Amino acid sequence: MASLHFWNEFELKKPPLVTLQIEDTGFAKNVFVAINGYLQQLSRPDFLEFNHTAALIGRLMARRKNSFRGMPGFRAVCKLNAALCRLLRLDLPRDLEHIRGALPDACDEELSGDMPTRNSFEFVLVRLLAFYHLHERIRDCCQAAIKYFGQMIRSNFFMEFLTLLIAAVAKINKLSLVQSNSCATLYNKLQPQCLNFPQVEKHNFLPENCKLPTQLRVIKESQSAVGEEEANPAGVNLLIQAPSLITKVEKAKQKLKADVGTVVARQTPIAPTQTAFQMSSLSTVEDVKHFILRESKARKKNPGSCVTKPIQNHEWLAAKTLFERKLQARDQAKALNIFRKFIGSKI
């Protein structure tokens, strides 16, 4: 359907608010009650906290933009901030107040009155769709960001900053679910009333072959949790998605259970002699400096044969940068400890 994402048009042209005389205005009472109940929810603390947390994420992103520019997790935060800014420009409460103000004061099945046209009502429904799907994108970006930064924080990278960032993203994810469900509930109440509004002849707001969905899904909180609850080093309870870790013992057990077929006699191949990396070789700061210099050259010339080949380029760059910053801060012991833990977890 060509107009499937009609709600996603950034500059959606609003139809003029025109009222027409109809004989039955009884259905307008249900529309008024549904919209009024939703607007009253906007004064709840969780709705107000959403804007404050969104502003905090924008400030955190701007503060460390140069530090995380090449990281996938930071790109997810940038997309999250863009979705939050677009949500702010949407201004759904204003559109709901306009359609509510155009409803007749006295709503009765036996009374006639002026009602806004179906075009204006469909515009509000499209705005609700945009609000609902924007919150879907916000939660997708939250999950992508927390998955990446959650892995970094376990390796003691940028502990203080990432603790605050993950807390803000997890909070936005939870509050977004509340707003999305409230929007879906309102849409499900208003959509059946669409056919009751008078239609202007020879003018339709919706494009041809565009049909609005009859229902929006209300998501349970347990279905959209970012992950299991963990306690970070700062003592903040967060929702972080922990990747499934398989130990070497579990891998060995899985191999034993696997069907390997009939065992046949064969000559034992001679394993190539290769010196295993020893963590004891990184006992001093000078050892780490020589190790970084040697591995940096090896990664450029022959990446497949270097000791740090399991480490991705951006992770290696972040480890070197953190080590150098700790040395500049004259905290050699912490620099050595963090780098050894990182190498030990990757090799």
- pTM exceeds cut of 0.85: no
For 277, the token pair is 């990396």
Provide the pLDDT for residue 321: 87
23: region left, alpha or beta (phi > 0 left; psi from -120 to 50 alpha):
alpha
One pLDDT digit (tens) per residue for the chain, 347 residues: 334 466 677 667 888 888 888 888 888 889 999 999 999 988 888 888 898 888 888 888 777 666 666 777 788 888 898 999 888 888 899 999 999 988 887 655 556 788 888 888 989 999 999 999 999 999 999 998 888 888 777 766 666 777 888 888 999 999 999 999 999 999 999 999 988 888 887 777 777 777 888 899 998 765 555 443 433 433 334 333 333 444 545 556 565 555 445 445 545 444 444 456 777 788 888 888 888 888 888 888 887 778 888 888 888 888 888 888 888 888 888 888 888 888 888 77
Spatial CB neighbours of 147, under 8 Å, sequence gap ≥ 6:
73, 241, 243
For 164, the token pair is 């605050």
Strand 113-116, strand 19-22: pairing: antiparallel
Amino acid symbol at 53:
T
Provide the pLDDT for residue 109: 58
DSSP conformation letters of 166-223: HHHHHHHHHHHHHHHHHHHHHHHHHGGGGGGS---TT--SSPTT----S--PPPPTTT
